Amino acid sequence: MKRIKERLSAGMFLLAALSALSALALIAIFIFVKGVPIIAKVGFFNFVFGMVWDPSHGLYGIFPMIIGTVSVTLGAAILGVPVAISCSVFLAELAPAALSNMVRPAIQLLAAIPSVVYGFWGLLFIVPFIRNYIGGPGLSILAGSIILGIMILPTIISITEVSLLSLPRQYKEGAFALGLTHWQTIRSVLLPSSKSGIVAAIILGLGRAVGETMAVIMVLGNAVAIPQSILDPARTLTTNIGIEMGYASGEHQEALFATGIVLLVIVMILNAGAQYVTRRK
């Protein structure tokens, strides 16, 4: 009887795991079925590296939006990653227990804030600040990078802190025994030892940035052109889908699904990179 219950429980867990994989497979199949025909008609090179997006004239080039996605994501990484790693080190090694118990839930709360709230905040504060004190229209790559840099903080901080706390105590004790200060131990021993976890956290955070839509729509400007500076407006792959899917039809709709294929491939590459870095160590 006990073995039957164990097998039944194992079967239920296996069914749950397969259902999750099935949902992922169905989503991927649906997107590919909808998007591959237009890629085949237009041509892969013309679709991915085309410079003009004009569905009314049958032109479906998404390269400016790929550049916009990469630019905003890279800007978010430059702004957010140093802050996130510094905060993780502070929480794991420097902060008193009472303070870390207050700061940690506040950081986790950032992940629960709806993206549209970030967008409103950026539209009311970040965009006017850039327009009045830095230059440009305000709706720009810089504004999107700042918003996304804040939004990726919870992911990177949580995973990096766990990586630091999971290191064996002997690492720190051995460093202290050799005469290293606390900061030298953090810089020369703890951070290098948790490098794989930190890299995985950064990649997962960037995956979050790549897939963000609503907040970026509100602060990026949504211009379908290759930006010349961080103060220029741009459009990402996700914002293109979010803006035009409501009224698209026919080949236009298929092109948006094809854009989703490119976005899905980018996110899968980032996640696979995180898994590879984590498992290698």
| Average confidence score pLDDT of the chain | 86
User: The domain 62-280: what is its CATH number?
Assistant: 1.10.3720.10
* % of the chain with per-residue pLDDT over 70: 97
Domain ranges of the chain: 62-280
Question: Is residue 128 predicted with pLDDT exceeding 90?
Answer: yes
More confident residue, 213 or 146: 146
Give this prediction's pTM.
0.86
Q: DSSP string covering 164-224, please?
A: HHTS-HHHHHHHHHTT--HHHHIIIIIHHHTHHHHHHHHHHHHHHHHH--HHHHHHHB---
Confidence of residue 281 (pLDDT cuts 50, 70, 90): low
Spatial separation of the C-alpha atoms in residues 25 and 60, rounded to whole Å: 26
Confidence of residue 2 (pLDDT cuts 50, 70, 90): low
Confidence of residue 278 (pLDDT cuts 50, 70, 90): low
pLDDT, residue 270, reads 78
**Positions of E strands within 56-145:** 59-60
Question: Is residue 6 predicted with pLDDT exceeding 80?
Answer: no
pLDDT in tens, 190-249: 888 888 888 888 888 888 888 888 889 999 988 888 888 899 999 999 998 988 888 888
pLDDT, residue 1, reads 67
pLDDT in tens, 86-122: 999 998 888 888 888 888 888 888 888 888 899 999 9
Confidence of residue 148 (pLDDT cuts 50, 70, 90): very high
Spatial separation of the C-alpha atoms in residues 207 and 94, rounded to whole Å: 29
> In the chain, what is the greatest distance between 2 CA atoms, to the nearest angstrom?
74
Spatial separation of the C-alpha atoms in residues 34 and 14, rounded to whole Å: 30
